[in-house]
Amino acid sequence: MGTQVKDVVIKSDAPSALLLDKHADYIAAYGSKKDDYEYTLSEYLRMSGIYWGLTVMDLMGQLTRMNQQEISDFIKSCQHDCGGVSASIGHDPHVLYTLSAVQILSLYDNVNVLDVDKVVEYVRGLQQEDGSFAGDKWGEIDTRFSFCAVATLALLGRLDAINVDKAVEFVLSCMNFDGGFGCRPGSESHAGQIYCCTGFLSIAGQLHQVNADLLGWWLCERQLPSGGLNGRPEKLPDVCYSWWVLASLKIIGRIHWIDKSKLRSFILACQDEETGGFADRPGDMVDPFHTLFGVAGLSLLGEGQIKDVNPVLCMPEDVLERLGLHPDLLS
Amino acid sequence: MFYRDRKEWADLEPVPQDDGPNPVVKIAYSDKFTDVYDYFRALLKNDEKSDRAFTLTAEAIELNAANYTVWHYRRVLLQALEKDLREEMRYITAIIEDQPKNYQVWHHRRMVVEWLNDPSEELEFIAEILSQDAKNYHAWQHRQWVLKEYKLWDSELEYVEQLLEEDVRNNSAWNQRHYVISHTTGYSDPSILNREVQYSLKQIKKAPHNESVWNYLKGILQDRGLSSHPGLLEQILELKETHCSPYLLGFLVDIYEDSLENTSGDQVEVLSKALELCELLAQERDTIRREYWSYVGRSLQTKYCSGDPSTTSSEQHESPILGMKP
């Protein structure tokens, strides 16, 4: 019954070997090329961009190639009076960039570059009456921000600062009929949101509230014939879903439901042999975001050359070891 | 003309981009971008609330609509200068048409709608955006908010059906169907539940390989019992002959599992059929998910195999995939 499945076809000459050195060179040089319009345009997310770059370098054992002092100084200049951190200098604070900043400083074991108490106050202040979290003072609500809030506080050892029970109540209210989660109650299930919600529930110690078999099935249904993963039904595969979907499956103890070798082939095919880095799908332009999630996905698949990555926080396991953080995983 | 060359802006000292102390790199910007953002930073620094500032935010947005700080500032100015919000809505509409996947502009729209307390244009506007990309996640979130906040449910089910006519595989539309019914009639009324079941089966006939409709069907029945819905098993078995798919086979497994869970009495036949399907899916029909189907088979076996050595089921279903031994 020749039904058209929305998918990509991997060409026979697509990369099939892991090119870690090229990726490290790509990240190390990112932002220093002459034609930097893309870099300029992404200033509004610079803090997250730095987190992506540093994390992937650390996973590849190449963190020392990055400039710790410069980055720490930059982060310090991005903390505002309210305690929140902005994406870059002169931008407004937001919980997304507050998390990225704390993740970066955790890699360097130097969170005290920030006024930690003020960060905690900022995050606490974003919680709403229904338990949800706004992203900033302008009030957008999204389960992504619930994740950012608890992840930030967990890294700082200050989860007690918020009403965890209420926060859990809100996230659970975003669970849908298919077992997945969306950004707000009723929103369509989406792999990115599912990662945020399962990560949230892990940190909050409430993973037992997930219907793991039902959600696990929805997640493994993301795998297409090409081996790649999409984010919701009838969408094209994208290498970043190798993270969102795979990490979620790992958190709920069902990562073996994915055909690992087919996924691995897809991820490797997303590499650019000339420039280094990963693109969303084979043949497209690379960027640091997809590079991190391609490498992190391979780590979850057991790639020997890459450090173990923690599926909840998307940070190297050895960093979390040092912090004594062991978020729950289902078995 | 660059701002740096305009007489009316000569009073401001432009603020160049600060990429942090000792930037390693020299960044190449376009001239216009540099000029506009240097003056934006100057305005921010002086906390200037003026019409020229308001005009400049539009230019800054045009150059980089994802810069959330510019949107914040624009909102502050909208209020401080008491700008015409209806005109602002027209502006927002134009930006969304051009960049429909930008988070900031959708949130901005919601805020202005709230300030105006007027949703009258929203459903039509969102429909227009969805006509260009029927799965735009931002558009759907905004739509759900409008419907719920202003209780505009009346025509929504009809709208969803129209979208499903156009593309029966639109997962967002199926999600919306669930959203509308949950917020209006609910599914407890048996005639409504059956209406939805029959509607789903009809769509399955049109496009059997459609994950969304099967998720929907399972979703609306799972709390009420798949195996107890009158006539459903028979209808599915009929469909199996002419409109089969891995989803249908998986759904059958779900029905059998529900039957095993909720019916008393001898279920050997049912278990046997369920295990056979799991094997078929693992070996042939959905091999990429063979681990999942093996798991389901093993779980059923463990839970429902009577353990009576005289039963045939455990002997017949010893297989390499399911790895079962009696």
What pLDDT, in 10s, does the model give residues A238-265? 999 989 999 999 999 999 999 999 999 9
Q: Cα separation of B129 and B138, whole Å?
A: 10
> In the predicted model, is pLDDT for residue B320 greater than 70?
no
Beta-carbon-side half-sphere exposure of residue A47 (alpha carbons within 13 Å) = 30
Supply A37's token pair. Answer: 């319009």
Q: Which residue of B25, B113, B210, B244 is the best one to mutate when testing the A interface, meaning the one whose CB has the most A CBs within 10 A?
A: B25
Tokens of A67: 């400039």
CA distance B49 to chain A (A): 17
Quickly tell me which residue has 């202040």 as its tokens: A125
What are the b/e assignments for A139-174, b being 16+ CB within 10 Å?
ebbbbbbbbbbbbbbbbbebbebbebeebbebbbeb
Nearest to A73 among B21, B64, B178 (CB): B21
What does the H/E/C string look like for chain B?
A: CCHHHCHHHCCCCCCCCCCCCCCCCCCCCCHHHHHHHHHHHHHHHHCCCCHHHHHHHHHHHHHCCCCHHHHHHHHHHHHHCCCCHHHHHHHHHHHHHHCCCCHHHHHHHHHHHHHHCCCCCHHHHHHHHHHHCCCCHHHHHHHHHHHHHHCCCCCHHHHHHHHHHHCCCCHHHHHHHHHHHHHCCCCCCHHHHHHHHHHHHHHHHHCCCCHHHHHHHHHHHCCCCCCCCCCHHHHHHHHHHHCCCHHHHHHHHHHHHHHHHHCCCCCHHHHHHHHHHHHHHHHHHCHHHHHHHHHHHHHHHHHHCCCCCCCCHHHHCCCCCCCCCC
Number of Cβ within a 10 Å radius of residue B5: 9
SS3 A215: helix
- Distance (Å) from the C-alpha of residue A255 to the closest C-alpha of chain B? 10
What confidence tens digit (pLDDT) does each residue in B275-286 have? 999 999 999 999
Rounded to two decimals, the pTM is: 0.92
Question: Model confidence over A31-41: pLDDT tens digits?
Answer: 775 446 778 77
How far from each other are the two terminal CA atoms of chain A, in whole angstroms?
38
Closest to B20 (Cβ–Cβ): which among A89, A188, A258?
Answer: A89
Query: Is residue B316 very low, low, confident or very high in pLDDT (cuts 50, 70, 90)?
Result: very low
Q: Which of B94-103, B152-161, B259-268 has the lowest mean pLDDT?
A: B259-268
pLDDT surpasses 90 at A216: yes
Q: What is the DSSP letter of A315?
A: E
- Tell if the CB–CB gap between A89 and B220 is shorter than 8 Å: no
Confidence grade of residue B34 (pLDDT, cut at 50, 70, 90)? confident
CB A66 within 8 A of CB A57: yes
User: Is residue B76 predicted with pLDDT exceeding 80?
Assistant: yes
| Rounded distance between C-alpha atoms, residue B291 and residue B273, angstroms | 19
- Choosing among A88, A89, A92, A188, which should be mutated to test the B contact, i.e. which has the most B CBs within 10 A? A188
pLDDT at residue B317 in the model: 45
* Consecutive H or E run containing A310: strand A309-310
- Tell which of B15, B27, B37, B214 to mutate to test the A interface (max A CBs under 10 Å): B27
Q: Report the pLDDT averaged over residues B244-262.
A: 95
What is the mean predicted confidence (pLDDT) over A92-100? 97
Single-letter amino acid code for the residue at B265? G
The pLDDT assigned to B167 comes to 96
Looking at the complex, report in whole angstroms how far the Cα of residue A313 sits from the nearest Cα belonging to chain B.
23
A152-155's contacts with Cβ under 8 Å and 24+ in sequence apart are A152/A95, A152/A98, A152/A99, A152/A102, A152/A119, A152/A123, A153/A120, A153/A123, A154/A203, A154/A313, A154/A325, A154/A327, A155/A102, A155/A103, A155/A106, A155/A111, A155/A313, A155/A323, A155/A325
Record: contact B24-A178, CB cut-off 8 A: no
pLDDT at residue B24, rounded to an integer: 42
In terms of Cα–Cα distance, which of A202, A282, A320, A193 is closest to A245? A193
Are the beta carbons of A85 and A78 closer than 8 angstroms? yes
Using an 8 Å CB-CB cutoff, list chain A residues near B68. Answer: 44, 87, 91-92, 94, 136
In the predicted model, what is the mean pLDDT of residues B155-162? 98
Res B20: pLDDT = 57
- Quote the crossing angle between the two packed helices B85-98 and B103-116, to the nearest 10°: 160
Nearest CA in chain A to B167: A234
pLDDT digits (tens, 9 = 90+) for A176-213: 999 999 999 999 999 999 999 999 999 999 999 999 99
Closest residue, chain B, to A44 (C-alpha): B67
Outline where DSSP puts E strands in A140-295: 278-279, 286-287
The closest of B25, B47, B5 to A40, measured between CA atoms, is B25
Q: What is the pLDDT of residues A36-84, one digit of tens each?
A: 677 877 888 999 999 999 999 999 999 999 999 999 999 999 999 999 9
Contact residues for B217 (Cβ-Cβ < 8 A; gap 6+): B197, B200, B201, B204, B251
Q: Do B137 and A190 touch (CB under 8 A)?
A: yes
If you average pLDDT over residues A138-147, what whole number do you get?
96
With bands split at pLDDT 50, 70 and 90, how would you rate the model's confidence at B315?
A: very low
| Catalytic machinery residues of B | 101
The shortest C-alpha distance from A95 to chain B (Å) reads 13
Q: Which residues in B lie closer than 8 A to residue A31 (C-beta atoms)? A: 25, 27
Nearest CA in chain A to B218: A178
Strands A315-316 and A309-310, bridge-based pairing: antiparallel
- Six-digit token string for A218: 């929805």
* Dist CA B132 CA B134 (whole Å): 6
CB A101 within 8 A of CB A71: no
A138–B75 CB contact, under 8 Å: yes
Query: Picking from A39-48, A59-68, B130-139, B233-242, which range would have the lowest pLDDT averaged per residue?
Result: A39-48
Question: Length of chain A, please?
Answer: 331
Least CB-CB distance to A31: which of B25, B141, B216? B25
